[in-house]
Amino acid sequence: MRPPHRYHLRTSDPFSRRRPSPSEHGPPAPPTRELVTKILLNGQTVEADPKKPLIAACHEHGASVPHYCYHPGLKAVGSCRICQVEVKQGEMPPRIVVACRTPVAEGMIVNTEAGKAHDARRECLEFLLKNHPLDCPICDKAGECDLQDYAFAENQGEGRTVEPRRKLEKRKSLGDVIVLDEERCILCSRCVRFMEEVPKTPQLAVVGLGSRSTIATFMDRPLKGNYQGNLADVCPVGALTLKKFRFQARVWNLRKSLSTCAECSRGCSITVEVLRGKDVKRFRPRYNDKVNKWWMCDRGRFALERHVDVATGTTAGARIAGALVRGQGAQGLEPVESELGVAIAADMLVAHEARTVIASPFLTQEEAEVLLRVARALGTTPVFVSPAGDGLADALLHTGDPCPNRRGLTELGFGAASAADCAARLAASQVALVVGERAGELLAAELAALGASQRVALFDARALDAVAVKLQVGVPTHVEKSGTWINVDGHAGRLTIARAAPAGTRALTHSLQQLDTLLAAAAAGSATTAPAGGAR
């Protein structure tokens, strides 16, 4: 008798991985009491949602059923046939069915480990492997490939045919984002259905007949749209890969951290993947039923280019390690410790009456709360930079609003200010406190227009060359800090630390808390004193 088979893989093997977790395919939502169907699954009575296919019930209750064409976010077609299970209903004898196309019914008896079902799945896998190339050593999908995982679990390391595998195009460009390897494609049609059902811009189709069938665009036109990167996510094998990720890293060398996309106010849940604790290699969507489900736009996916590791220094665009101070009469910036830089900022603010506080729209709620205390101590109402929309708003995810925490900052009491409004506030003040990641980038022209007699204390991740900026204190980027953003619909998105900030860079909340303490001490009569030569 065949022993029960389970698709549980060895986690110690670098080419294997666990099966998709609930956070990837979506947490199982318990059916309402009015919509509960009881079935017998592998000898246990379980409750299932009759609106979902049988394969969903199996996954929700821990029964491992392999699948290629099925995706919970797309319509089921049952083309790969590898999700076959044994089902018995009423007095009818047991039969083998595809679980993705079979609705659950009251009293259904399901056996995912039946010998006939296992044999049927194994035969399907053998046919899929017949023409599949042995590209695992060079394939970007290796380590997270469903076909590789199931072949390993079944121990199907050898083929029984002697005929040569079919030869098709290996590097077919489908536009600026995706490369198609026709030999690896198993014709699951996930990519075709995704373009039809999610962005609703059908551009892919299965063309040809029989063994000559391939995926193609109409008239070989390049793919268009802001959601092409999802094709690489839904592809269960390495047929569709991202041009920008090809041969960049092995997935088992990437450390994954949960985070939130920063490119618009939607706040899609994402995974930040970092190579060797330094280089950000991928942003990938993370399932969130209330925000983005399984998807993300390409603008957010490829925003990782902002986080290319740049050496620290004093030149414009370099990462700030600690703080930079422009001495009296000096043309350049001199590095100092972060704590000393904050003390100098406190002296600048205390020494002048006309003060303004401008925040970056990338501040977290935790950072904004401390900055709000600082602004109140200075007797001013803070605003955040509200740049113009990017013109990419759509009906799916992208809002076109480049402020990821607009709602959160507004609820705390921050006002929204355009670049022109910020320029007016800067010109009318003697000293300005500009705080947050990319604040200098968003106000680069406005800060450059200020004269040398004006004073700006800038808390940002990158150095800025502007004579009015007398002090710059380094802060972490959003992949280097933890915190919370509130998206356009009021849902909280968490940030976690994916990589370490440059040495000497403190969390912005720590620097602002120090500044708040120094201002309180100054108000109580314990004035701070900046070192000789410091900016005042």
- pLDDT 10s digits, 349-389: 999 889 999 999 999 999 999 999 999 999 999 999 999 88
User: Pseudo-torsion of CA 113, 117, 118, 119, nearest 10°?
Assistant: 150
Q: What's the token pair of residue 208?
A: 């040809």
Q: Which domains does the chain have, with CATH numbers?
A: 22-154 (3.10.20.740), 172-242 (3.30.70.20), 255-307 (2.20.25.90), 323-523 (3.40.50.740)
Q: What is the CA radius of gyration of the chain?
A: 28
β-pairing, 483-486 vs 492-495, is antiparallel
Strand partners, 189: none
| Burial class (CB within 10 angstroms; exposed 0-12, middle 13-18, buried 19+) of 246 | exposed
Q: Where do the DSSP E strands lie in 133-268?
A: 172-173, 178-180, 204-207, 214-217, 240-242, 254-260
Nearest Cα neighbor of 455 from 347, 323, 312, 528 is 347
284, 259 contact by CB (below 8 A): no
List pLDDT tens digits, range 258-308: 999 999 999 999 999 999 888 999 999 999 999 999 999 999 999 988 888
Looking at residue 531, its amino acid is P
Q: How far apart are CA 204 and CA 196, in angstroms?
A: 8
Strands 109-111 and 37-41, sheet pairing: parallel
Is pLDDT above 70 for 25?
no
- Between 316 and 121, the more confident residue is 121
* pLDDT-derived band at 422, boundaries 50, 70, 90: very high
Amino acid 359: pLDDT:
97
List of residues 6+ apart from 241 with CB closer than 8 A: 140, 141, 178, 179, 181, 232, 235
| CA–CA–CA angle 264, 195, 489 (5° rounding) | 30
Contact 469, 476 (CB under 8 A): no
Q: Is 73 helix (H, G, I), strand (E, B) or coil?
A: coil
pTM: 0.87
Comparing C-alpha atoms, which of 279, 275, 274, 273 is closest to residue 233?
A: 273
Question: What is the average pLDDT across 460-474?
Answer: 93
